[in-house]
Amino acid sequence: MEINYMTVIQYVKEMTGENGRPTLFPFRSRYEHTMRVYRWAIKLQAIEGGDLEIITLAALLHDIGWDDERPHGDVGAEMAIEYLLSIGYDDEAKLGRIGEIIRIHTDKDTADSLSLECRIVMDADLLDEVGAISILWDSMATAIGDEASYKKAYQRIKNFYRINKPKIRRCKTEAGRKEYEKRMDTIESFLEELEKELY
């Protein structure tokens, strides 16, 4: 069947807006995160290969589910399969693979053997947490906190960098590793410049 991706995107927008997932940061949109992950997945697929349809659908649907009692990957996988069946998507083999990617996408430290499609979606999800976007996130999070200051933002960004630089080990593809390293270099350069201006 030919997939109308705009319909899928509209469903994602509705579900991420309604699923009740709590957030500590009012400026963080789960829908916008999903669209960035989707774009990264497409970029990684262009380099690494893999089934574009599986990657696209898994990336778009990866965060639609939430439940306070169950892992959101499990809930999202069930919802994604149910939704795809409801729009007439009947490729059982691909449905199973899409559901599996969504189910395990948060297990970034797994040592299990994963499909290329799964590795791409996991890397795309990881890449949306680092780089210029994380500098912006940390700055905004500092700004809404108590006694916000440039130095507090600097310390928060520096702490993020320290914690996340070693997490390059979580990248599952060569293209993902290269991009992660580039993004961490962006944070490092920013911190060096900011430190000169602040101290």
Percent of the chain with pLDDT over 70: 100
Q: Which residue has the tokens 């083999």?
A: 93
Indicate if 148 and 101 belong to the same structural domain: no
Last residue of a domain, one of 64, 91, 107: 107
- What is the model's pLDDT at position 20? 76
Indicate if 97 and 44 belong to the same structural domain: yes
- What is the model's pLDDT at position 114? 95
Indicate the number of domains in the chain. Answer: 2
Indicate if 81 and 159 belong to the same structural domain: no
Indicate if 52 and 13 belong to the same structural domain: yes
Q: Any idea what the CATH number is for the domain that residue 43 is in? A: 1.10.3210.10
Q: Is residue 124 part of a domain?
A: no
Q: Is residue 117 part of a domain?
A: no
Indicate if 20 and 69 belong to the same structural domain: yes
- What is the model's pLDDT at position 73? 92
Q: Is residue 123 part of a domain?
A: no
Q: Which domain holds residue 55?
A: 5-107
**CB-hemisphere CA count at 13 Å for 55?**
25
- In terms of phi and psi (left: phi > 0; alpha: psi -120 to 50; beta: otherwise), the region of 54 is alpha
For residue 173, what are the contacts with CB-CB under 8 A and spacing of at least 6?
Answer: 44, 48, 116, 119, 120, 123
